[in-house]
Amino acid sequence: MTVIEARQVVLSFGETPALRGADLAVAEGELLAIMGPSGSGKSTLLHCLAGILVPESGEIHFDGRRVDRLGESGRSRLRRDEFGFVFQFGQLVPELTAQENVALPLLLNGVRRAAAVAEARAWFGRLGLDGLQERRSGELSGGQAQRVALARGLVARPRVLFADEPTGALDSLTGEHVMDLLVSAARQEGTTVVLVTHEPRVAAYADREVIVRDGKVHSLTAEAIA
Amino acid sequence: MTVPLTLLGLLEREPSHGYDLKRDYDAYFGRGKPLSFGQVYSTLSRLARDGKVVISDLEPGEGPDRKRYVITDLGATEVDSWLTEPVAPEPHLQTVLFAKVTLALMLGRNAETYLDTQRAAHLRRMRELTEIKRSGGLVDALLADHGLFHLEADLRWIDLTSARLDALATEVRS
């Protein structure tokens, strides 16, 4: 069953077209990798799917709802309630401890502080972060910070996790560890994952890959030789 | 040839019977391509003929006598040289991928579709290797990584070639 879908999405930045009729459907529980060269529009597509950007034309559907027709507050609520995010850089709030960072989505969703902290603490064990709860982002290694970001992306049990180059700033071994944890956690939670990456070794963790080229989505698997 | 040198290397750990050598080879290096007993014993015979191993003793049993093989100084020197010398980097200038793309462009065919199909096949193999890594031990991961990095290098070439197809077509058709 399709959970999120882009239909003929078009979006330009000034005179520069980013998406020129992009079509993409992601199934519930699927782990999809969006690949493509720099500037191909892959991150723009992720931002449209996630309701961060609104396309000039075309449609974005999530669970039967038209995301592109929602106003700013509606999209903000959708992102808060249904989506999780992991990006490449600068995701943690530096003034908060790691544990407070992870609890943040729950607190924003109205969960009481004690319950939010307890839920956040459980993720530290799951992602091998025990003992780091009180550290701030400046006191974490890149891999640790990314695991905290992953915990924060998953703590509210989102329907869809959007990950944009989640290992882009990490060395190979650390990146591999983060991907292992991301895939395991998403599978356990049944979370759909939309992953943007230019690294084939990261895309190889996905169930399926598509490539964005010149603002359009090309399915690779369907064309694969038997 | 890595089989004789690998068997020699295994013998450098400790003197062993052919059966034990086959078991260890298959466990660490065979990976779906186990050695036959015939290959093990013919290789050990050649190594003995060349003075790289000797037979230390015979153990009588119900079947054929079991021979215990011991590496010689000559064999150990060969293992040492093999392990310290780099493998000659292979430029792979005449790969099938290169030939297919160039020929497709010369013939005015759709090289981009071919590259996409190849990319999909590479990624599918990378998914399989990633699954082996995730479900296996460290030795499996080491071997899978070797395959993954080589496939990734091919994919980089495929990406770069995709970006250059128009210019390449002009050059090979001129």
Q: Are B118 and B104 in contact (CB under 8 A)?
A: no
Of A180, A218, A224, the CB nearest to B121: A224
* Structural domains counted in chain A: 1
Please list the ranges in chain A whose pLDDT falls under 50: 222-226
Answer whether B158 touches A (CB < 8 Å): no
Which pair of structure tokens corresponds to residue B66?
A: 């079991």
Q: Which residues pair with A17 in a beta bridge?
A: A12
User: Nearest CA of chain B to the CA of A124: how many Å?
Assistant: 21
Question: CB distance B123–A203 less than 8 Å?
Answer: yes
Numbered residues of chain A with Cβ closer than 8 Å to any chain B Cβ: 37, 180, 183, 199-201, 203-206, 209, 211, 218, 220-221, 223-225
Give one word for A181, left, alpha or beta, with left for phi > 0 and alpha for psi -120 to 50. Answer: alpha
pLDDT of residue A45: 97
By Cβ distance, the residue of B116, B155, B163 closest to A200 is B155
At the topology level, CATH places domain B2-84 in: Arc Repressor Mutant, subunit A (1.10.10)
Provide the phi-psi class of B69: left if phi over 0, else alpha when psi is between -120 and 50, else beta. Answer: beta
Write out pLDDT tens, residues B47-94: 999 999 999 877 766 656 688 999 999 999 998 888 887 777 666 665
Torsion sign (Cα): B77, B79, B80, B81: positive
Q: What mean pLDDT is predicted for residues B109-136?
A: 89
Q: What is the 3-state secondary structure (H, E, C) of chain B?
A: CHHHHHHHHHHHHCCEEHHHHHHHHHHHHHCCCCCCHHHHHHHHHHHHHCCCEEEEEEECCCCCCEEEEEECHHHHHHHHHHHHCCCCCCCCCCCHHHHHHHHHHHCCCCHHHHHHHHHHHHHHHHHHHHHHHHHCCHHHHHHHHHHHHHHHHHHHHHHHHHHCHHHHHHHHHC
Rounded CA-CA distance A146/A90 in Å is: 10
Which residue of B lies nearest to A184 if distances are taken between CA atoms?
A: B134
**Nearest CB partner across the interface for B127, out of A180, A204, A225:** A204
Tell me if B116 and A218 make a contact (CB, 8 A cut-off). Answer: yes
| Nearest-CA distance B167 → chain A (Å) | 17
Q: What CATH number should be reported for the domain holding residue A184? A: 3.40.50.300
Q: How do the domains of chain B map onto residue ranges?
A: 2-84, 96-173
The answer to whether residue B114 scores a pLDDT higher than 90 is no
Q: Which domain holds residue A154?
A: 2-223
- ipTM comes to 0.81
Nearest to B101 by CA among B168, B155, B174, B171: B168
Query: Is the CB of residue A18 less than 8 Å from the CB of residue A78?
Result: no
In Å, how far is A223's CA from the nearest CA of chain B?
6
Interface test with B, best of A201, A208, A213 (most B CBs within 10 A): A201
**How far is it, in rounded angstroms, from Cα B37 to Cα B154?**
36
pLDDT 10s digits, B142-162: 999 999 999 999 999 998 999
pLDDT confidence of residue A224: 43
Contacts (Cβ under 8 Å, ≥6 apart) of A126 = A151, A181, A185
Which residues of B are less than 8 Å from A201 in CB distance? Answer: 126, 130, 148-149, 152
The pLDDT tens digits for A94-127 are 999 999 999 999 999 899 999 999 999 999 988 8
Question: Which residue in A37, A180, A220 is closest to B163 by CB distance?
Answer: A37
Q: What element of type H or E holds A210?
A: strand A208-213
Give the number of other Cβ atoms within 10 Å of residue B80's Cβ.
12
What is the interface size between A and B, counted as CB pairs within 8 Å?
Answer: 49
Q: Name every chain B residue with its beta carbon within 8 A of the beta carbon of A221.
A: 120, 124
Question: What was the pLDDT predicted at A90?
Answer: 62
Nearest CA-CA distance, residue B159 and chain A, Å: 8
B-chain CB neighbours of A200 within 8 Å are 122-123, 126, 151-152, 155
- β-strands A192-196, A208-213: how paired? unpaired
Interface residue B151 vs chain A (CB under 8 A): yes
